[in-house]
Amino acid sequence: MTDPHTWDEPTWRGKVEAVRAGRNLLPDTWPNGARCAVALSFDSDHETNELRDGGASTARLSWGEYGTRRGIPRIRKVLDRFGMKASFFVPAVSALLHPDEQRELADEGHEIGLHGWIHELNTGLDVTTERDLMLRAADTLEKISGTRPVGMRTPSWDYSPNTLTLAREMGLLYDSSLFSDDDPYEIVQNGDPTGIVELPVEWIRDDAVYFMMNRFGAQRPYTPPTDVLDIFTREFEGAYAEGGLFLLTMHPHVIGYRSRIFILRDLLHQIAAKGDCWVATHAQIAQYCAQQAGMTPKGPK
Q: Which CATH superfamily is domain 19-293 in?
A: Glycoside hydrolase/deacetylase (3.20.20.370)
Q: What is the pLDDT of residues 225-267, one digit of tens each?
A: 999 999 999 999 999 999 999 999 999 999 999 999 999 999 9
Q: What percent of the chain is predicted at pLDDT more than 70?
A: 98
Q: Yes or no: say if 86 and 78 are a contact pair by the CB < 8 Å rule.
A: no
Residue 175 in this model has a pLDDT that exceeds 50: yes
Residue 300 in this model has a pLDDT that exceeds 70: no
pLDDT at 214: 76
- What sign does the CA torsion over 52, 201, 87, 147 have? negative
Q: Return the minimum-mean-pLDDT range out of 1-5, 8-12, 271-275.
A: 1-5
Strands 277-279 and 192-198: unpaired
pLDDT at 218: 72
Q: How far apart are CA 113 and CA 231, in angstroms?
A: 26
Helix, strand, coil distribution of the chain in percent, nearest 5: 50, 15, 35
pLDDT at 243: 98
Q: How far apart are CA 57 and CA 49, in angstroms?
A: 11
Q: What predicted TM-score, i.e. pTM, was given to this entire model?
A: 0.96
Residue 80 in this model has a pLDDT that exceeds 50: yes
The model's confidence at residue 170, banded by pLDDT at 50, 70 and 90, is very high
Q: What percent of the chain is predicted at pLDDT more than 90?
A: 93
pLDDT at 297: 58
Q: How far apart are CA 276 and CA 174, in angstroms?
A: 25
Q: Yes or no: say if 291 and 50 are a contact pair by the CB < 8 Å rule.
A: no
Delimit the domains of the chain by residue range: 19-293
**CB-based contacts of 166: which residues, under 8 Å, 6+ apart?**
127, 130, 131, 134
Q: What is the pLDDT of residues 197-227, one digit of tens each?
A: 999 999 999 999 999 877 777 777 789 999 9
Q: What is the pLDDT of residues 22-67, one digit of tens each?
A: 999 999 999 999 999 999 999 999 999 999 999 999 999 999 999 9
